[in-house]
Amino acid sequence: MSASRDSPPTKSDLDACRRCPLWERATQGVPGEGPRRAPLMLVGEQPGDEEDRQGKPFVGPAGKLLRRALDDAGVVRDEVYITNAVKHFSWEPRGKRRIHKTPAQREIAACHDWLESEIAAEHPVVIVALGATALRAIVGRKISIAEARANSLVHASGAQVVATYHPSAVLRAPEKSRQAELYDVLVADLQRAHRMARGKEPYRVR
């Protein structure tokens, strides 16, 4: 099954996808969500446990923190398209819990056409990469968040790419001071991406 460039993949498309083994253990595929032609697109790594159960992106703890960050950045959630680089939940068992497992490169590659079809259909002005996995999927090479924040990055579609930390990285930070630091960076990057998407700020490296 191939991705359409006219519309983003539907849940049915992703549920039928067999390009990698992740579908076997996932409850369902999780498509992106948001208005058509949203100027700002946010791309995370993959669905988490709660997203896998509900079939919606960013509805778990990381999603709750992201919504707060969007509010603090002055970004209206319903005006943003939110998706993930990988469309099925990658996990491993730990007792009765399902623990997040970073997707392998082959799994990221298997979902590449799905992500590209979303970008082509939405045609965003700015794409925010939430974390290193999303960043690699968007730019096609391995690059750290710190390095990406210090350089100009543009997607093949012409969309400007803003790299920042995934909300889960904020939650996993071992110290409250580090959590606060990463959260402030996340909010600042979302603010900058929002201004860029509205043409209020030129693209420049930090």
Asked if residues 197 and 126 have their Cβ atoms less than 8 Å apart, the reply is yes
Residue 2 lies in a domain: no
Residue at 6 is within a domain: no
Tens of pLDDT, residues 133-152 = 999 999 999 999 999 998 88
| Domain, as residue range, for 44 | 11-197
Looking only at the bridges linking them, the beta strands covering 81-84 and 153-154 are: unpaired
Q: Which of 167, 158, 149, 87 is nearest to 127 (CA)?
A: 158
- CATH code of residue 63: 3.40.470.10
Do the Cβ atoms of 160 and 41 come closer than 8 Å? no
> Residue 206 has what pLDDT?
46
Residue 203 falls inside a structural domain:
no
Query: Which has the closest alpha carbon to 5: 161, 125, 82, 115?
Result: 115
Q: Within a domain: residue 185?
A: yes
Residue 4 lies in a domain: no
**pLDDT tens digit sequence for 98-144:** 999 999 999 999 999 999 999 999 999 999 999 999 999 999 999 99
pTM over the 0.75 mark: yes
Query: Would the pLDDT of 86 be above 70?
Result: yes
Number of domains into which the chain is organized: 1
> Residue 180 is encoded by which pair of tokens?
């606060």
